[in-house]
Chain A
Amino acid sequence: MITMKRVRKTYPNGVQALNGMNIHIDKGEFVYVVGPSGAGKTTFIKLMIRELKPSEGLIQINGNNLGDLSDKQIPYLRRKIGVVFQDFKLFTKLSVYENIAFALEVIEEEPEQIKTKVMDVLDIVGLKSKARFNTSELSGGEKQRIAIARAIVNQPAILIADEPTGNLDPETAWSIMGTLEEINNRGTTIVMATHNSHIVNTLKKRVIAIENGKVVRDELGGSYGYQA
């Protein structure tokens, strides 16, 4: 489902963010990506949705070689991958409802379906009552939950979450984890970059640790392994 081979990424300023990444994730897996800040987790995610191009190496998603995709095909790749961005990337001028609906408008969903689906995911993340709020009126944790709602609303094959519990209180964080588990149980592959040692150590999954742009540890049911 997700394969990276000898992937390097050097930013224009010379920083080598990824330094020969090799990763393979199968369909239906739930994977934590851990590692110190600056290890390359976000860069790894950006490469998967082609927000960035690798400087070197091979990336395969759903059997598609990203290097072979034309610019015109990129949007269709992105629609199969739901992403919870570390900085949320919500439309600041739009309402909560409009933010989530956008992901469905893009795939030309039927208007009545849009309404139902948006309200459904808002229910899942527990923010149904804030549908008409402007996103600028939300707290950090609420924004995060909206970002999650948008990422899952069109039931992508892969859900990538960049520190999705980073701004949440433990209780909300756990409810979000419950949501992710549920989505995973429906067959969605989940890749979650995280700093939350408590979650990693409690809800045991495969753990991939990255340091200096390389995989240094990869174990099923592993632990966080860093001082939080």
Chain B
Amino acid sequence: MAIKRKTLTRHGREGFKNIRRNGWMSFASMSAVAIMLFVVGAFAFLIVNTNHLIDTIENDVEIRAFFEHDVDASEQESVLEEVESHDSVENVVYRDRDEGLDVFMESMGSDGEVFENLREENPLNDALIIQATDPQMTAAVAEEVNAQSAIESVEYGESILGQLFTVTNYVRILGGALVIGLIFTSVFLISNTIKLTILSRKDEIQIMKLVGATNSFVRFPFFIEGALIGLIGAIIPIAGLTVGYSYLYSFMYDQVPFFTFVEPNPMIWQISGLLLLVSILVGIFGSQMSVRKFLKV
């Protein structure tokens, strides 16, 4: 059965009015929403940035595969092609021993110049610099490349990597579980608060029913009211988190050069949108669950 427009208008108006009429109760619900959203939002930012940090570290992981000294150029070429065609290899760069020396000298800074006289009798090996498609594949790729007879040895800092992956996997699982747990807790807390505001209106709902209101007629204004509580309750935490994060981002940008936070744009809008959506849904869910009990008149 289609709802008539004037009835819809009426429900909307009532939803708004109810928030004012039940001033303190509405305020309590909105505060509960706001506090929970602050916590969930802060955690969301924390997790996004932890992930970002992990990605940054992971993506720096490269494999250096050194050729035997006696391997000629055409053989090196064929190894390069073979590695390039490997499924788990994202990117391969050939670096001959000259370049290798440059990189080494550069890494030594101004002291590096003394090594220039090594250039004639360069002890370094020609090498392949390999990045795996998935950082977690690094060890497997390194092992396969090492199995080639033309390769003397590979390096990729295996022990640190192993530990890093254990830690990062834990952080991800734990973080995800924490956010889900928090969302559940907040849904519970918020719907409880809203339930209290509606409990005080049990009589009101009873009267509506006794003068002939259908269940959906009673529900609709509460639906709007719940959505509004979610919407209004979300404004302050979203504004606070947005401003706070932008500030933190530029602070980190200026003060900590080796690691930057995830850029606020567009991440902040995505998280804000998500928080807003969750907030409105929780508001609606909370109010509808609470009304339900009193409709049996």
Contact = CB atoms under 8 A, between A and B. Distances in A.
A51 interface: yes
Interface residues of B, number: 19
Interface string A47-82: 001010000000000000000000010011011000
A75 B213 contact: yes
A189 B211 CA distance: 18
B207 interface: yes
Contacts of A107: 212
Interface residues of A, number: 23
Interface string B9-23: 010000000000110
A51 B213 contact: no
Interface in B175-219: 203-204, 206-214, 217
A59 B204 CA distance: 27
B214 A72 contact: yes
Given A51-B297, A91-B204, A106 B211 contact: yes
A150 B6 contact: no
A92 B206 CA distance: 13
A78 B212 contact: yes
Interface of chain B, main secondary structure: helix
A154 to B, nearest CB: 9
B212 A79 contact: yes
B6 A75 contact: no
B6 A108 contact: yes
A110 B211 contact: no
Contacts of B212: 75-76, 78-79, 103, 106-107
| 3 pairs of A and B residues whose beta carbons are closest in the complex | A79-B212, A78-B212, A75-B214
22 contacts: A49-B210, A51-B210, A51-B297, A72-B214, A75-B209, A75-B212, A75-B217, A76-B212, A78-B210, A83-B211, A85-B210, A89-B207, A90-B207, A91-B204, A91-B207, A92-B203, A93-B204, A103-B212, A105-B7, A106-B212, A108-B7, A111-B6
